[in-house]
Amino acid sequence: MDSSRIESSKDRKTAYGFFLSLVSLAIYGLVRIYLGTLRKTYSHCLAYRQRYVRDEGMLISFWHNQLLAMPYLYFGKPFRISTLVSLSKDGELTTHILRRWGIGTVRGSSTRGGISALKELLRLAKNPHHHLVLTPDGPKGPPFQIKDGLLVLAQKSGRPIIPLAVSFQRYVQLNSWDGFLIPLPFTKAYFVCGDPVHITEVLDEEGMEEARKRMTKSLQDLNALALSMRTPKRGS
């Protein structure tokens, strides 16, 4: 490849990086302002917050459709928390946006780059000051079904999984694979933290299914609690 092509390629990468920086800043700013209008309530979150104070590394988990508002439940210091993001072009933009929140990323998914991503997550898990976030049904579903990655990471790292959930008084639900939730401005948001789930089973086929059932029940129960906190509509 001649020098002119190399320079052209570098210029395109620089321009694309600048474009992502501007777009991510705009999206971050708008989302931050938008979510700032929510009237937030936190329930059962004291022990969860204390884990941050004591630097007790956690695996934080919630359903994919609740992603939008969850940065308000992390409570962590900037770049003391990382999450898994796909290797797609959308994932590149997501990575830039998350950095604006002070959230690090590990690139990969169950369908692409999964092994290297798991190794990087296990490396990060050795640092008790650093917390990891995974949506167990992401990035493409099926919805509300826990994949193996979260369970394997918990078992190999020895870290507890802390389930989280949020519900909104008024919201829009997108017609996406996960039924993505977008709260309406100024509505109430009910954030709930669950008890730690420890994955100690030998993860053979039987152990994996047992661990999956326990984690699924934990998330289902927590989401039911979050939904029960919503104010009933008049006449209901």
In CATH, what number is assigned to the domain containing residue 170? Answer: 3.40.1130.10
Residue 234 lies in a domain: no
pLDDT in tens, 129-158: 999 999 999 888 899 999 999 999 999 999
Task: Provide the residue type at 202 as one letter.
Answer: V
pLDDT in tens, 162-200: 999 999 999 999 999 999 999 999 999 999 999 999 999
pLDDT in tens, 29-87: 999 999 999 999 999 999 999 998 888 999 999 999 999 999 998 877 888 999 999 88
Residue 233 lies in a domain: no
Residue 175 three-state SS: coil
Residue 235 lies in a domain: no
pLDDT in tens, 95-129: 999 999 999 999 887 667 678 888 999 999 999 99
Instruction: Name the H helices within 102-204.
Output: 114-125, 148-157
Residue 236 lies in a domain: no
The predicted pLDDT at position 77 comes to 80
**Enclosing H/E stretch for 172:** strand 171-173
Cβ-contact 82, 124 below 8 angstroms: yes
Residue 158: name the closest of 49, 59, 55, 45 by CA. 59
Domain assignment of residue 176, given as a range: 3-228
Residue 57 lies in a domain: yes
Q: Is pLDDT above 50 for 236?
A: no
The C-alpha atoms of residue 75 and residue 72 are separated, in whole angstroms, by 7
Residue 116 lies in a domain: yes
Number of compact structural domains in the chain: 1
pTM of the entire structure?
A: 0.89
Residue 190 lies in a domain: yes
Q: How many residues does the chain have?
A: 236
